[in-house]
Amino acid sequence: MGHLLSPSLLAADFSRLNKEIAMVNRSEADWLHLDIMDGVFVPNISFGFPVLKYVKQLSEKPLDTHLMISYPDRYLERFRDAGANILTVHYEACPHLNRTVDEIRRLGMKAGVSINPHTSLTVLEWVLPYIDMVLIMTVNPGYGGQEFISNSYDRIRALKKMITESGNDVMIQVDGGVDESNARKLIESGVDVLVAGTSVFESDDPEETIRKLKNLG
C-alpha cells in the first residue's frame, strides 16, 4: 500500500468551506485532517463540535481528527458522535494514556498518539500495542504555515525502527510544513500518512497539489 494523504482543513478558506470540502471529496486525498485547538494546550483556537458535525455531513473522506486540547478524555465520546473516525491525542495532554487510547478504540474509532517536537520517542514504546497511529509533529503545534523542523527525518527513521522491532502494525503520520519539497524524503524515511495544509489550500490548484503529493512515484 502506498502512503496516504490527509489535507488539513485548518488552512482552508472558511468563508467557502463547503466548496473546500467538495474539492477534497473530488481529489485523490484519503482522509480529511481536522485540528482541534483549545487555546490552552496550544496558543490558538480553531473550531469545535458544530463545525465538526457540519464537515461530517459534507465529507466523503474519513475524518482524521487531531486533538490539541487539555483534558481530551472529557470529550472522546462527543468527538465520536460528531463524526471523528480517527482520533489522535497528545501524549503531553494525557496522564493516563493507555486508558485514553483504550477508550478511543472502545468507542469504535482508530486511536492515534501525537508527540511534540521536543518529546522523546521512548514515551511511545509501551503504548505501541494499543494504538493505530503515531503523529510526529514536524512543527511546534498551534499554527499552520510554520517552517518544517529539519531533524524530524531522524526522528521518523528512529520511530520506524522502533515500530518494526516491536512487531506492531502502527502507521506514522507527520504534520507541519509538509509540501512538495520534502514529501518524498518523508515517505522514504518511513512516513505512512502525510498531513498537508497550507501547501494544499493556498496553492493555485489545490486538487493538482493533492495529486502530486499523493503520487510521488
- Strand ranges of the sheet holding 171-175, from the earlier edge strand across to the other edge: 4-7, 193-196, 171-175, 133-137, 110-115, 86-90, 63-68, 32-37
Q: Judge contact between 53 and 33, C-beta under 8 A.
A: no
* Residue 148: predicted pLDDT: 82
Q: Judge contact between 127 and 90, C-beta under 8 A.
A: no
Q: Determine which helix (DSSP H) or strand (DSSP E) holds 153, and give its type and residue range.
A: helix 152-166
Tell me how far CA of residue 32 lies from CA of 6, 43, 99, 165, 210, in angstroms.
5, 23, 26, 30, 12
Is 35 among the catalytic positions? yes
| Cα–Cα distance measured from residue 200 to residue 158, given in angstroms and rounded to the nearest whole number | 28
Q: What are the average pLDDT values for consecutive 10-residue runs of the chain, which has 217 residues? A: 93 96 98 96 93 98 97 98 98 97 98 95 96 93 71 95 98 94 96 96 97 90
* Residue 1: predicted pLDDT: 63
How many structural domains are present in the chain? 1
* Residue 111: predicted pLDDT: 98
* Residue 140: predicted pLDDT: 81
* Residue 217: predicted pLDDT: 59
Q: Judge contact between 14 and 196, C-beta under 8 A.
A: no
Which is the catalytic residue, given 30, 35, 132, 192? Answer: 35
| Cα–Cα distance measured from residue 116 to residue 77, given in angstroms and rounded to the nearest whole number | 24
Q: Quick one: 129 exposed, middle or buried, by C-beta within 10 A (0-12, 13-18, 19+)? A: exposed
Residue type, 53: K
Is 175 among the catalytic positions? yes
pTM: 0.95
Q: Judge contact between 52 and 65, C-beta under 8 A.
A: yes
Which is the catalytic residue, given 38, 64, 175, 192? Answer: 175
Concatenated DSSP letters of 78-134: HHHHHT-SEEEEEGGG-TTHHHHHHHHHHTT-EEEEEE-TTS-GGGGTTTGGG-SEE
Q: Which domain holds residue 81?
A: 4-214
Residue type, 46: S
CATH number, position 193? 3.20.20.70
